[in-house]
Structure 1
Amino acid sequence: MTQHVLSSHREIQALKPSGHKTVERFRVSSRHGAGLYIELRGDRVSKRWVYRFRLGNKRPDYVIGTFPSVSLKQAREMHGQAVQLVKQGIDPRYYRAAEVARNTQAWTMQEAYSHWIQHYASSQGRSGYPPTEKTVNQMQRRWRLHLQDELASFRVMDLTRPKLIEVLSTAASKAREEARQCLSLLKALLEYCEDMEQIEESPAATITPKKIKARPSPPKKRFLTLPELRQLLIVLDQGAGRASPSTCNAIKLIIATGARRSEVSQLCWSELDLENGVWTLPGHRVKTRQERRIKLSQYALDVLRLQRQFSHSEYVFESPRKCGAPIGIDVLTRAVKRFQGRDAKEQNLKAPLAHLESFGVHDLRRTVTTAWTDHLDVDKLLADVMIGHSEPRLIATYNRADRWPMQVRVWDRWGETLTRLTSDQHGQGEIAHNTNVIHVQFGNR
């Protein structure tokens, strides 16, 4: 073996087999120490890098790679890594084999997402139940719209915090709340990858909404006063040529019950006991995954009986455009915007409710609970239970009473209130824009 030490790319490139030996090795200088060689074989054109090391009583060879696909600089770097492993008593050959196996088994982000969404859909949440189909669909939509194109091909182990911030910041520039939800999705997904030993630490763990300019919006406070609610109810009764009867009736039932728009839009006749005036929501349709009852006031029953003529399927609020399918929740949202003239870039000031401060469908639930508390003296905890919120865990654990008789009285009295708001004695069905006070008599409590 020649003692000449090679130190440049040009020298290595110029090497040729002498023809006297089957295998020839030449020492190559490296700041990491001795042991690095370039090897030539008479039967091969390529040259390969070899590190000869001592581990115990053995002097094995570690093949680093071939020249020129592995340059001199790269060979020296890999030599340095191998030297450090040997100093720790680790055979670099086995370490590299383990790395290759790990890389082969490494998930891409698309594979990780596919594994995680199945796990997420079947795992119990804080409520003790798996997420609803609607929640799972929302997660799938966010991945598809905001994350898939940018992240799907990345290996999980190669994903960096700066890359996540870049992708999420782009999403935040389009929809701040969606970006915040995407951050929550990625944190859950990458925590799952930690558990599955795909990564040691999630790069999303320390990212905050503030970092991606997606601070949570301040809590919404908008609710309709009774005079404003009266104006909306009258518009719903008249239709105003801006929404179908089914849409108007669905919004009225939200107001009558405080139910979520998804609970109302997908309501089935089989859930209703019209004779006894009770709506039983099955657990799979409730956000808390717990079955709950709603007492249907006379006002609500009148809405449902009126709706009978527009429904020809199992769904109470059947889509007028798609037979046999329920009305979409977005239809309700657009209708409320249309009543306010806010369904286009410029507000239509001729819309019947254009003069009111902007409100949405979800604000109607806040309107209902606020009115119950302010005008019917209902305590906030009972009002929360009636609209389907989870009770605080300590109360739910030690107090199992649902105060159903009290709930029934509240819903009945609320129905009477809604009837009075739209009765002839309050303006012969006309919208009184300047009405600031409405007198409501509730009778004996």
Structure 2
Amino acid sequence: MKQQILSSHREIQALKPSGNASVERIRVSSTHGPGLYIEMRGDRVSKRWVYRFRLGNKRPDLIIGTFPSVSLKQARELHGKAVQLVKQGIDPRSYRAAEVAKNTQAWSMQEAFSYWIKHYAANPTRNGYLPTEKTVKQMQRRWRLHLQDDLGSFRVMDLNRSKLLEVLSNAAIKAREEARQCLTLLKALLAYCEDMEQIEESPAATITPGKIKARPAPPKKRYLTLPELRELLVALDCDTGRTSASTRNAIKLAAATAARRSEVSQLLWSELDLENGVWTLPDHRSKTRQGRRIRLSAYSLDVLRQQRQHSNSQYVFESPRKPGEPIGIDVLSKAVKRIQGRDTKEQNLDAPLAHLEPFGVHDVRRTVTTALTEHLGADKLLVDVMIGHAEPRLIATYNRADRWPLQVQIWCQWGDMLSNLCSDKPEFIQESKHTNVIHVQFGSR
């Protein structure tokens, strides 16, 4: 070995083999101590960094990298790390092999999401049930739209809190609620990665919606007054153009039963007992995974009889565009927007309900629950049972009564109110000039 000691990039760059030996090594100065060499081989153009160390009675070599791919500065840094390992009695070659294996097995965020979504779909959530297919698809859609492009290629082990804050904050600019849901997704995904030992600690653990300007929006309070509900039902009867009969009837049944969009749009004839006027919603079609019975009023049965002529499949509300398939969940929302003239960038002021304060399909559900309590005297806990809300745990555990006879009475009364609202001369009685409470006077039955 030559005894000269190199100390600069220029010296190493200018170094050439002497031709006297097939392998030549020259010492390179390093603040971390001796043992760092630059090696030249007569049959190679490139040079490589070598750290020769002593561990016990052995003097092995660690190949640090090639020059100039690994600069002098980088070689000294790697030399320093190797020196520290040797001081601890660790063979840096074994450590390097373990690091390479770890990096080879390290997941990208895209791989992590693929593994996690399968795990998520196959394991029960806190309520003890598997997530619905709809929920899984929402997770996949959210990842694809808001997170995949920015995070997919990152290795999980390289992801940090600042990057997550950047991506989530950008998402919050477009849609606060979506950003909040993305945060929930990432927390679950990275917690799974933590369990699978891809990371030691989730960088999303301490991020809150407030940190990314994605605090939950205030609870929605919009519901329709009875006169507004009448306007909606009348508009549905008059709209025989762009909105299909299946969609119009589905909205009417939603107003009669307070069922969710997915529960109505994917309703099966097999769930209905038309002779006894009962709709039995199975567990797997309920958001809370708790099936329920719904008494079909005379109004509801009339809607279903009208719909029979528009359905030739197992689905009650069959799509006119895709025979044999149900109408889409979003079709109801789009139809309600269209009636209000809000289905385009600028509102169509000639639409039937353009003059009303904006509302959506879910507001119709809120309308029914409010009316059942305000106009028919049903207590809130019973109404929650009737519309399929999850009951407080203690009540669900200790009180199994569903008060079905009372439910039947209330659903039938609500159907009568809707029939009255749709009549040519609805009988409204305004209780007071200073209250919004409106009572409906029923004729003899």
TM tier, smaller: over 0.9
Paired with 1:13 and 1:343, the residues of 2 have a C-alpha distance of 68
Quick check: 1:272 aligned with 2:267? no
Paired with 1:280 and 1:316, the residues of 2 have a C-alpha distance of 14
- TM alignment of 1:183-222, pairs within 5 A: 183-222=183-222
**Deviation for aligned residue 1:442:** 6.8
Distance 1:132 1:443, change over 3 A: farther
Query: Larger deviation: 266-275 or 340-349?
Result: 340-349
Letter in 1 for 2:139: M
Quick check: 1:77 aligned with 2:106? no
Paired with 1:441 and 1:88, the residues of 2 have a C-alpha distance of 89
Letter in 1 for 2:285: R
Letter in 2 for 1:77: E
Letter in 2 for 1:98: A
**Deviation for aligned residue 1:308:** 0.8
Distance 1:83 1:23, change over 3 A: same
Q: Deviations over 1:88-144 (max 9, x none)?
A: 332211111001001111111221111111111111012211111111111111122
Query: Larger deviation: 37-46 or 84-93?
Result: 37-46
Quick check: 1:111 aligned with 2:98? no
Counterpart for residue 168 of structure 1: 168
- TM alignment of 1:224-239, pairs within 5 A: 224-239=224-239
Letter in 2 for 1:13: Q
Counterpart for residue 340 of structure 1: 340
Letter in 2 for 1:381: L
Distance 1:43 1:335, change over 3 A: closer
Quick check: 1:376 aligned with 2:376? yes
Counterpart for residue 142 of structure 1: 142
- TM alignment of 1:364-443, pairs within 5 A: 364-426=364-426, 438-441=438-441
Counterpart for residue 20 of structure 2: 20
Higher relative contact order (CA 8 A, sep 6+): 1
Q: Deviations over 1:158-203 (max 9, x none)?
A: 2232332333233323222222222221221111111111111222
Distance 1:8 1:37, change over 3 A: same
Q: Deviations over 1:61-82 (max 9, x none)?
A: 2111122221111100101111
Contact 1:227–1:437, Cα closer than 8 Å, also in 2: no
Contact 1:169–1:179, Cα closer than 8 Å, also in 2: yes
Letter in 2 for 1:239: D
Contact 1:5–1:29, Cα closer than 8 Å, also in 2: yes
Distance 1:87 1:406, change over 3 A: farther
Helix, strand or coil at the partner of 1:327: coil
Letter in 2 for 1:205: A
Paired with 2:427 and 2:377, the residues of 1 have a C-alpha distance of 27
Counterpart for residue 7 of structure 1: 7
Letter in 2 for 1:110: Q
Letter in 2 for 1:314: Q
Q: Deviations over 1:398-444 (max 9, x none)?
A: 2222222222222112112212222233279xxxxxx9774324799
Counterpart for residue 432 of structure 2: none
Query: Larger deviation: 329-338 or 57-66?
Result: 57-66
Q: State the TM-score, normalizing by the size of structure 1.
A: 0.93
Runs of 5+ unmatched residues, structure 1: 429-434
Counterpart for residue 281 of structure 1: 281
Paired with 1:157 and 1:442, the residues of 2 have a C-alpha distance of 68
Letter in 1 for 2:218: P
Q: State the TM-score, normalizing by the size of structure 2.
A: 0.93
Paired with 1:299 and 1:29, the residues of 2 have a C-alpha distance of 92
Helix, strand or coil at the partner of 2:17: coil
Quick check: 1:301 aligned with 2:287? no
Paired with 2:4 and 2:94, the residues of 1 have a C-alpha distance of 30
Contact 2:427–2:441, Cα closer than 8 Å, also in 1: no
Letter in 1 for 2:281: L
Letter in 2 for 1:382: L
Helix, strand or coil at the partner of 2:336: helix
Counterpart for residue 431 of structure 1: none
Paired with 1:189 and 1:175, the residues of 2 have a C-alpha distance of 21
Contact 2:230–2:421, Cα closer than 8 Å, also in 1: yes
Distance 1:274 1:6, change over 3 A: same
- TM alignment of 1:303-322, pairs within 5 A: 303-322=303-322
- TM alignment of 1:321-336, pairs within 5 A: 321-336=321-336
Paired with 1:426 and 1:258, the residues of 2 have a C-alpha distance of 22
Letter in 1 for 2:227: P
Contact 2:107–2:155, Cα closer than 8 Å, also in 1: yes
Paired with 2:14 and 2:343, the residues of 1 have a C-alpha distance of 75
Letter in 1 for 2:395: I
Paired with 1:383 and 1:104, the residues of 2 have a C-alpha distance of 56
Letter in 2 for 1:390: A
Letter in 2 for 1:186: L
Letter in 2 for 1:227: P
Helix, strand or coil at the partner of 1:317: coil
Helix, strand or coil at the partner of 2:212: coil
Letter in 2 for 1:60: P
Q: Deviations over 1:43-76 (max 9, x none)?
A: 4333221112233343322111122221111100
Helix, strand or coil at the partner of 1:425: coil
Letter in 2 for 1:188: A
Letter in 2 for 1:174: K
Helix, strand or coil at the partner of 1:310: coil
Helix, strand or coil at the partner of 1:293: strand
Helix, strand or coil at the partner of 1:211: helix
Letter in 2 for 1:100: V
**Deviation for aligned residue 1:371:** 0.9
Counterpart for residue 39 of structure 2: 39
Aligned length: 438
Letter in 1 for 2:346: E
Helix, strand or coil at the partner of 1:48: strand
**Deviation for aligned residue 1:255:** 0.8
- Aligned identity (percent) is 79
Helix, strand or coil at the partner of 1:219: coil
